[in-house]
Structure 1
């Protein structure tokens, strides 16, 4: 284990890799990261799958088989992505067992085009869960307004959920409420609550990217002094919400029935601005019972030179509020920023998914001709 990632794990942060590909599975790269850099989980998204499938020939044999069987592109993408996720789940099976399912988890996202379709999301969540067929899979559901009901319904079926694309504190509270409602329904449905797991993926770097652009446009020294502070402040206040809700009477009743809390997950932790330390969204967001899902570049940076000084979140809430208040005073609208980020985030995932379908269709057509 590298000392810095071990220190991060010892401080209560679960390190998950924000990447998956068949090459990682074939070469043993994933096992190596588990052994050397304390990686205890994996997250995927449409962009990751697009890069993996179109960026190598590791999928050619399966694509040829699917083409020969006459599979359409929707079936093909389901077969390919769930195969990778199932195999990754098997790689993490031992970790899942030793952590009672808290870690050793692999996330797969519902078709992002269904982010505004509650019924469609619920239906696909069930299909993905059954198709992967592993207890340590997380089904990713975007935290749209329409997604909230889907989150509750999916959890009520006893299916573990990774809630993704959370930007605002208000929406985060709604996500936790959806989680609690889901567990209450799961309990009523006779499911064992201790086997249902969830994380709430709170995006970090994109907040700074958007707000920094607005601060640059303002152009004052006061505005410049606030650059690179909003993302961390926002996430720290999310942890305050987590602490508050998961000490409530409503939660305590579920905990007594065996429920496990929905952990905050820091996502989008790769630094976009090279002016900032490349470990910024890791070292400044250390707290107990959180997940940090990192692209490999960020993971390597933390392993190489990350300075882990223990909890850097608790006790920072007044300072974090001061940052958001100062932004508001400059005319930077928090509500406008988070609404834009949610919309853009979904657009990016939908675009990546459509590109994947287009490229996979071409590959299927080519394989059919060759066959």
Structure 2
């Protein structure tokens, strides 16, 4: 293990890898990341699958079989994705077992086109869980207003959930509430709460990108001095909300029944601005009971250059509040920013899904 990745793991941060392809699995690269860089989980999305399919020969044989069977486009997409996720789940199974389900997780996303469709999301989440049929699967559900109900419903079925696309502190609190509603219903349904796990994926770099652009447009020295601070401040205040929620009486009752905390997951942790350190959203978001999903370049940089100086979140809440208040005082609306980012996030998810469908369509036609 590298010193940096071991230190951050020892500090209570689970490193999950933000990429999956069949080639990574079959070449042993995924196992190598586990063995050498403390990777203990993996997330994926339509963009990642589209890239894997368009750049690799690993899928050619399966695509030929699907084409020969006259498989529908949607069924082909989910068959290919499910196969990769199953194989990845098997690679991570020893970690899943040794951590009692806390890590060793593989996340698979519902069709992003259902982000505003509560019933459709819940149905697809259940269908994906049945198709993959692995205990260490997590179903990714976007944290739209319409996503809150299916999050709770999916958890009530005993299915573990990765809640994605969270930008605002208000929505994050609603996600934690949905988690507890789901667990309370699961308990009523006779489910074993100790087997249900969840993470809440709080997006970081996109917040800085949007707010930095607005601060640049304002152009004053005071505005420019606040650049690169919003993403960390927002995430740190999310951790404060996490601490408050999971020390409440309501939570203590669930914990007594065997429930696991829903860990904050730092997503979108590759820096977009080259002026910022490549591991900014890794080294500066260290605290117990957190997950960081790292893209390949960020993981490689952190493994070689990262420094871990302990908890970089606890005790920063007053300062973080001041950062967001100072940004608001410059005329940048926090509420407008997070709404814009959620809307754009759904649009990007939809575009990625369309890209994936087109990639598979072309592969089936040419098979």
Would you call these one fold, judging by a TM-score over 0.5?
A: yes
**Residue in structure 2 matched with residue 204 of structure 1 by the alignment:** 204
Where in structure 2 are the equivalents of 1:215-226 lying within 5 Å? 215-226=215-226
**Residue in structure 2 matched with residue 154 of structure 1 by the alignment:** 154
**Residue in structure 2 matched with residue 99 of structure 1 by the alignment:** 99
Asked whether the 8 Å contact 2:53–2:359 carries over to 1, the reply is no
Match status 1:263 vs 2:263: yes
Where in structure 2 are the equivalents of 1:180-259 lying within 5 Å? 180-259=180-259
What is the CA–CA distance in structure 1 between the aligned matches of 2:2 and 2:13, rounded to whole Å?
15
CA offset at residue 305 of structure 1?
A: 0.6
What is the CA–CA distance in structure 2 between the aligned matches of 1:251 and 1:340, rounded to whole Å?
32
Write the deviation string for residues 276-307 of structure 1: whole angstroms up to 9, x where unpaired. Answer: 01110001100000000000100011100101
What is the CA–CA distance in structure 2 between the aligned matches of 1:50 and 1:256, rounded to whole Å?
43
What is the CA–CA distance in structure 2 between the aligned matches of 1:36 and 1:296, rounded to whole Å?
13
**Residue in structure 1 matched with residue 311 of structure 2 by the alignment:** 311
What is the CA–CA distance in structure 2 between the aligned matches of 1:55 and 1:318, rounded to whole Å?
47
Asked whether the 8 Å contact 1:54–1:356 carries over to 2, the reply is no
CA offset at residue 141 of structure 1?
A: 0.1
Secondary structure of the corresponding residue to residue 308 of structure 2: coil
Secondary structure of the corresponding residue to residue 74 of structure 2: helix
CA offset at residue 360 of structure 1?
A: 1.0
Match status 1:23 vs 2:57: no
Where in structure 2 are the equivalents of 1:328-339 lying within 5 Å? 328-339=328-339
**Residue in structure 2 matched with residue 55 of structure 1 by the alignment:** 55
What is the CA–CA distance in structure 1 between the aligned matches of 2:36 and 2:69, rounded to whole Å?
41
What is the CA–CA distance in structure 2 between the aligned matches of 1:328 and 1:168, rounded to whole Å?
14
Write the deviation string for residues 106-126 of structure 1: whole angstroms up to 9, x where unpaired. Answer: 000000000011010001001
CA offset at residue 183 of structure 1?
A: 0.1
Aligned length: 367
What is the CA–CA distance in structure 2 between the aligned matches of 1:162 and 1:14, rounded to whole Å?
14
Secondary structure of the corresponding residue to residue 107 of structure 1: strand
CA offset at residue 182 of structure 1?
A: 0.1
Asked whether the 8 Å contact 1:215–1:224 carries over to 2, the reply is yes
What is the CA–CA distance in structure 1 between the aligned matches of 2:356 and 2:296, rounded to whole Å?
22
* Structure 1, unaligned runs of 5 or more: none
What is the CA–CA distance in structure 2 between the aligned matches of 1:203 and 1:150, rounded to whole Å?
20
Write the deviation string for residues 129-155 of structure 1: whole angstroms up to 9, x where unpaired. Answer: 011110000000000000000000000
Secondary structure of the corresponding residue to residue 285 of structure 2: coil
Asked whether the 8 Å contact 1:115–1:142 carries over to 2, the reply is yes
CA offset at residue 60 of structure 1?
A: 0.8
**Residue in structure 1 matched with residue 276 of structure 2 by the alignment:** 276
CA offset at residue 362 of structure 1?
A: 1.6
**Residue in structure 2 matched with residue 145 of structure 1 by the alignment:** 145
Secondary structure of the corresponding residue to residue 264 of structure 2: strand
Of residues 352-361 and 192-201 in structure 1, the stretch that sits farther from structure 2 once superposed is 352-361
What is the CA–CA distance in structure 2 between the aligned matches of 1:340 and 1:55, rounded to whole Å?
32
What is the CA–CA distance in structure 2 between the aligned matches of 1:189 and 1:309, rounded to whole Å?
44
Q: CA RMSD in A?
A: 0.5
What is the CA–CA distance in structure 2 between the aligned matches of 1:51 and 1:342, rounded to whole Å?
23
TM-score (norm. length: structure 2): 1.00
What is the CA–CA distance in structure 2 between the aligned matches of 1:194 and 1:286, rounded to whole Å?
25
What is the CA–CA distance in structure 1 between the aligned matches of 2:276 and 2:359, rounded to whole Å?
35
What is the CA–CA distance in structure 1 between the aligned matches of 2:360 and 2:80, rounded to whole Å?
10
CA offset at residue 358 of structure 1?
A: 1.4
Secondary structure of the corresponding residue to residue 107 of structure 2: strand
CA offset at residue 50 of structure 1?
A: 1.1
Asked whether the 8 Å contact 1:142–1:163 carries over to 2, the reply is yes
Secondary structure of the corresponding residue to residue 261 of structure 1: coil
What is the CA–CA distance in structure 2 between the aligned matches of 1:254 and 1:281, rounded to whole Å?
31
